[in-house]
Structure 1
Amino acid sequence: MAKVKEAKKQSKHLERFHYTIDQAIEKPFNWKQMWRLLQFLKPYSKTYLPGAIIAMVIATAVRLAIPILIGKVAVDIAIARSDTNLLVYLVIGIAILYMISFIANRFRIKWVNILGQNVIYDLRQKLFSHVQRLSHRFFDTRSAGSILVRILNDINSLQELFTNGIINLLMDILMLSGIIIILFIMSPPLALAVVIVIPLMFIISTTLRRKIRRSWQMVRLQQSRMNSHLNEGLQGMRITQSFSQEKENAEFFDGVNSGYFNSFRDAAKKSAFFRPLVDICDAAGTIILIAFGSYLILNGTIELGTFISFAFFLGMFWEPISRLGQMYNQLLMAMASSERIFEFLDEQPNVAEKENAYEIKKMDGKIEFDEVEFAYNADRLALKKISLDIQAGQTIALVGHTGSGKSTIANLISRFYDPTSGAVKVDGHDLRDVTLDSLRQRISVVLQDTFIFSGTIMENIRFGRPDATDEEVKEAAKVVGADSFISRLANDYETEVEERGNILSAGERQLLSFARALLANPSIIILDEATASIDTESEVKIQKALKRLLKGRTSIIIAHRLSTIREADCIYVLEQGKVLEYGSHQELMQQHGKYYDLVKSQFTMLDAI
């Protein structure tokens, strides 16, 4: 049954992929998008790019000159007249030309590789920086795996285009143009006979365009799907093993992996058809040259040297034709990837700064919610006409069932989202009027699932304030009580904590997050279920750390464990996006309302245990 469900799920995914691709295929080749992609070459338009173009022109000119020297000069003049001196000069001259071509090609390859790597670096840096500035709503609707594919794989697929493709395209166009012009100058009838196969090749190749483009877009989509599943599978490995679902998970991955394998094989198969097509045209052109060229020689219309030059040029002719076919495939791959890259680059933050936004120079921490409404989805309000008045330095607590709006209030204070209506103000400033950096630099958020970065203990605490000294980092750790366990680690503050802090306990990770928040010296601190996953023994240490951390700061505590918020100045009880009641712990207990029921039910459960 599970396999059937997974198969149906995969089928639905593929239906959506095919629908997306079909829409993309109907669009013509996006030259505007290609031009936009080429704008990333601008910073190098006065350095590596002109150097590579000059080297390419020199190498191409040399290659075009050599067949003429061999056919017209060596055969028709030197050999025909038995001029050995001229032959010697020609051999030396051609050797020098080959050396010049070698040097020019060496610099061309060097400069285009430097150019390409710089462009890829700039593009990836720009995309990552842009994604970092996008709003939380963007990440709510996309998996980490699909974002990784855009930043890594899609940009990598442009590498060949920028390192070789663009210069090779110019070189091949120049080479083809030069060959065609020379052939028609040497013998228009023979040239016309030889190049007559080009329109046929063009007609056949253009019929493959839609299929090839569709195939490479499918590869990108399947790759995105596989990366997304891999990311999810690795992060949820403990859950998978806990429920012994390794086999089911492997079977599902096998389906995703097979989808990517088959799509890539299909795209490669269609792309590979270009080379045999070129070979057929090459064979046809050679047959025409031998047959018609021999006839023209016997007729006295052309000389033997012209025929030999034609043979050289014909061999050179199909090489750029073949590369142009491959280049077209590269362009199709680049279009498939650039569409996805520019989709992200064109994404605008839902929470955007105004052009005239100003910085908050100093923050006391007074927070005001003025008739605030907010909806994650248009059909359901998360907050309904919420009004709060939190004084600077106060500690307030938000309690209520899951989905009551507690975390939404915290997100609005940090301006991860903007209210649908109403206003959120800090020290009288509407948050929509101030810069994001100046706001968030004065707010620290500590979450239930503390994120610890790969690196040392020192680097993790310093994350919120990179310019802090080692002494300031250690002092922050001592204040929140983290120094005691850090000093027991193998390398003290230089201990590597590995990915997500796996070598630390939940309580130790939380103490690190408190030290990180304290070092940032915020005016407002938000604790979102910060003690929910801590054991009772660790909670005692955490509560001591909290007293030091919250002292003199406006604090918003979100907690299900009501014992942690008794000392709050004001407790707001939320339900379905509304404030039901508020007051101190004693005041709310005397009212015998919702808060009283929550406390009573929680302690009843503890007594039962």
Structure 2
Amino acid sequence: MSQEQSRRGPGGQGKHGGLGGPGGPGMGMPVEKAKNFKGTLKRLIRYLQPHKYQLGAVLVMAILSTLFSIFSPKVMGKATTKLFEGIIAKMQGVPGATIDFHYVWQIIVILLGLYVLSSIFSYFQQYLMAGVAQKTVYDLRRDVNDKLSKLPLKYFDARTHGEILSRVTNDVDNISNTLQQSLTQLITSVLTIIGVIAMMLSISPLMTLIAVLTLPLSVVAITSIAKRSQKQFVRQQKELGQLNGHVEEMYTGHKIIKVFGRERRSLEQFDEINGRLYEAGWKAQFISGVIMPIMSFIGNIGYVLVSVVGGILVTKKSIEIGDVQAFIQYARQFTMPITQTANIANIIQSTVASAERVFEILDEEEEVPEAATPVLLEQPKGNVVFDHVKFGYDADHTLIEDMNIEVSQGQTIAIVGPTGAGKTTLINLLLRFYEVNDGAIRIDGVNITDMKRGDLRSLFGMVLQDTWQFNGTIRDNIAYGREGATEEEIITAAKTAHADHFIRTLPGGYDTILNEEASNISQGQKQLLTIARAILADPAILILDEATSSVDTRTEIYIQKAMNELMKGRTSFVIAHRLSTIRDADLILVMNHGSVIEQGTHEELLEQDGFYADLYNSQFSKGGFDQEAG
């Protein structure tokens, strides 16, 4: 489990759990806070500004819905008073005393109308807010997606996929949920608190004072318990992260565990972490669960006091019996929105923290802008020149100091050297995944910075050691090499790559669906599809990174012939690990520490008896086994 995921708490995003009332599962949960709360909140509000009229309508609907809801207990109290007066008059034997059911039915009809109106306005409030929330998050997702397409490769190299995905999905979903649910609840809760206090004061200021005095006691109780439960929730999150990490590690490496007979030790570790998680989770849930009964206890004390004082005031004719009933209903309504507001305040803090992490992506430095008047190579030949190129992944460490390479059309250039020599860096610079610090790279005399990145990369076809296939048919995976490719062209490319035979042996042939990991075909077959894709693309320049490393020796011979055919007339850059595969290259560049230290043909470099010769001979010094050199 990644650090990002473990910070999300039990069950992923569990931060919305406590909105139902006191003691909900969200109580005591640790809250991630933003570094710059005010600035981030203002920026998030700017995303809401285009929808200010809808938000205004939401506020009006919330006010009306709350108003009708709050007014209902006072109206119901009048019916209770009328029933009470009729019953008392009958008990006292007042001549002609009856219960005025006509008045009571009128009250019931009015109440039904109030509840219906409250529900209708609440419905429209939710409807409008759903539109605002989704449009706002749509804008935010669009901006994030646009930004990700403009970020340089170094941004993605410096961060894990899990971290980026967490920001783009979990954090944006957190914002969406808060705008959709918590914001409307916050508005309703605040309005309910204000309305309830006003209605209670209109009934009896003394009873209102008694009801309000129970609040500090509730706050003290909740705060002290929440602090204890928060420690356990933090511990629970930590243990959950360790458990998920252990399970992931055990499942991904289950073959190794079985080979070395470490199943028992793995189960013991699982039981140990699971036990700690159980203990932390039990304590966290138990302690936070105590909040509800304590709140109920304090609330009941308040109800008793209110009832006693209300009864005394009724006997003194200060208020009516229906007012006492209405007041008790208001007292019950009073506690809930206060607890909800406290919970929502925590959720908003978490949401602003999520927004801050999303905005960090939007504030990242983008790729160097495209040229104002880009050059397009209509008929690329494939002449490549590295002219005094200087590059480093950061300002303090220069990897390539002064690289000068001249490659002519149709040449095959092999790049060899030990790990970290700069072989892959050279390709990254050629494709403009990274920008050179100094000097220039030219293709057919045109500086690559004067070309659009899309146009530049369309000149290249790549076959890498790490194959990449997407979830779709084999036909679609091959056709990815060129948009609008015909069925005949796809099959021809597959035949050239010696992939046609194995494709036709599959149950679905070219319509066989590859799963997400493409694990339903072998590694060698995946490589053949990758080669077929490159053949279909028919590029001006080829980049091959040990393209035949995943196939058997016999297939490698066929592939090498197909690649030789494909490479005719095309400039080819071959990153070589097994030096036996690049003997026929027109030019071999030997790299070490970012510099080209030797260059020439295979025979010329062996005659020099230098670094390349040592590297080549070392691969055949131990029984003829190849040894990876880069």
Question: What interval of TM-score do these two structures reach, taking the shorter chain for normalisation?
Answer: 0.7 to 0.9
Bigger Rg, structure 1 or 2: 2
The secondary structure found in structure 1 opposite 2:507 is coil
- Give distance in 2, aligned partners of 1:404 and 1:561: 15
Alignment partner for residue 65 of structure 1, among 44, 47, 71? 71
Q: Does 1:354 align with 2:369?
A: yes
- Give distance in 2, aligned partners of 1:219 and 1:360: 58
Q: Does 1:400 align with 2:406?
A: no
| CA deviation profile, 1:264-314 (whole Å, cap 9, x unmatched) | 667656765654564354234323312332333334333333322212211
- Give distance in 1, aligned partners of 2:250 and 2:442: 41
Contact 1:372 1:424 in 2 (8 A): yes
Instruction: Note the C-alpha offset of 1:537.
Output: 0.9
> Which residues of 2 match residues 75-224 of structure 1 at below 5 A?
75=81, 83-108=100-125, 127=144, 130-131=147-148, 134-158=151-175, 160-199=177-216, 201-202=218-219
> Which residues of 2 match residues 182-581 of structure 1 at below 5 A?
182-199=199-216, 201-202=218-219, 236-246=253-263, 272=289, 275-276=292-293, 278-335=295-352, 337-349=354-366, 352-354=367-369, 359-362=374-377, 363-376=380-393, 381-432=398-449, 434-581=451-598
Query: Closer, same or farther in 2 for the Cα pair 1:451/1:37, shift >3 Å?
Result: same
Instruction: Note the C-alpha offset of 1:121.
Output: 6.5
Partner of 1:33: 40
| CA deviation profile, 1:450-470 (whole Å, cap 9, x unmatched) | 122232112222334454444
| CA deviation profile, 1:167-197 (whole Å, cap 9, x unmatched) | 1111111111111122223333332332233
Query: Closer, same or farther in 2 for the Cα pair 1:449/1:406, shift >3 Å?
Result: same
Contact 2:34 2:349 in 1 (8 A): no
Partner of 1:587: 604
Task: Return the letter of the residue paired with 1:402.
Answer: T
Contact 2:481 2:536 in 1 (8 A): yes
Contact 1:480 1:548 in 2 (8 A): no
| CA deviation profile, 1:376-426 (whole Å, cap 9, x unmatched) | 466654333222222344321101222222112112222233334444444
The secondary structure found in structure 2 opposite 1:556 is strand
Which range moved further: 104-113 or 89-98?
Answer: 104-113
Query: Closer, same or farther in 2 for the Cα pair 1:125/1:53, shift >3 Å?
Result: same
Which range moved further: 144-153 or 437-446?
Answer: 144-153
Q: TM-score, normalised by structure 2?
A: 0.78
Task: Return the letter of the residue paired with 1:480.
Answer: A
Instruction: Note the C-alpha offset of 1:92.
Output: 1.7
Partner of 1:5: none
The secondary structure found in structure 1 opposite 2:114 is helix
- Give distance in 2, aligned partners of 1:527 and 1:87: 88
Contact 1:145 1:231 in 2 (8 A): no
- Paired residues, what number? 587
Instruction: Note the C-alpha offset of 1:577.
Output: 2.1
Gaps of 5+ in 1: 1-9, 15-22
Contact 1:179 1:317 in 2 (8 A): yes
Contact 2:382 2:571 in 1 (8 A): yes
Instruction: Note the C-alpha offset of 1:512.
Output: 0.9
Query: Closer, same or farther in 2 for the Cα pair 1:378/1:213, shift >3 Å?
Result: farther
Instruction: Note the C-alpha offset of 1:582.
Output: 0.9
- Give distance in 1, aligned partners of 2:31 and 2:457: 39
Query: Closer, same or farther in 2 for the Cα pair 1:518/1:364, shift >3 Å?
Result: same
The secondary structure found in structure 1 opposite 2:388 is strand
Task: Return the letter of the residue paired with 1:295.
Answer: I
Task: Return the letter of the residue paired with 1:354.
Answer: P
Contact 2:34 2:350 in 1 (8 A): no
Query: Closer, same or farther in 2 for the Cα pair 1:355/1:532, shift >3 Å?
Result: closer
Instruction: Give the percent of matched residue pairs that are identical in Structure 1 and Structure 2.
Output: 34
The secondary structure found in structure 2 opposite 1:487 is helix
Query: Closer, same or farther in 2 for the Cα pair 1:143/1:586, shift >3 Å?
Result: same
- Give distance in 1, aligned partners of 2:233 and 2:372: 43
Query: Closer, same or farther in 2 for the Cα pair 1:202/1:24, shift >3 Å?
Result: closer
Instruction: Note the C-alpha offset of 1:115.
Output: 5.8
The secondary structure found in structure 2 opposite 1:500 is coil
Query: Closer, same or farther in 2 for the Cα pair 1:448/1:202, shift >3 Å?
Result: same
Query: Closer, same or farther in 2 for the Cα pair 1:442/1:186, shift >3 Å?
Result: farther
| CA deviation profile, 1:200-221 (whole Å, cap 9, x unmatched) | 5456656788888887777777
- Give distance in 1, aligned partners of 2:316 and 2:417: 100
Task: Return the letter of the residue paired with 2:369.
Answer: K
Q: Which has the higher contact order (CA 8 A, sep 6+)?
A: 2
The secondary structure found in structure 1 opposite 2:498 is coil
- Give distance in 1, aligned partners of 2:41 and 2:280: 24
Task: Return the letter of the residue paired with 1:64.
Answer: I
Q: TM-score, normalised by structure 1?
A: 0.81
The secondary structure found in structure 2 opposite 1:563 is helix
Contact 1:527 1:558 in 2 (8 A): yes
The secondary structure found in structure 2 opposite 1:499 is coil
| CA deviation profile, 1:12-62 (whole Å, cap 9, x unmatched) | x99xxxxxxxx9978778243344445555676666x66755554443222
Instruction: Note the C-alpha offset of 1:94.
Output: 1.5
| CA deviation profile, 1:322-368 (whole Å, cap 9, x unmatched) | 3223323433443554454444454445xx13265654522544333
Contact 1:463 1:516 in 2 (8 A): yes
Query: Closer, same or farther in 2 for the Cα pair 1:364/1:58, shift >3 Å?
Result: farther
- Give distance in 2, aligned partners of 1:256 and 1:338: 33
Contact 1:220 1:336 in 2 (8 A): no
Query: Closer, same or farther in 2 for the Cα pair 1:25/1:562, shift >3 Å?
Result: closer
Contact 1:76 1:304 in 2 (8 A): no
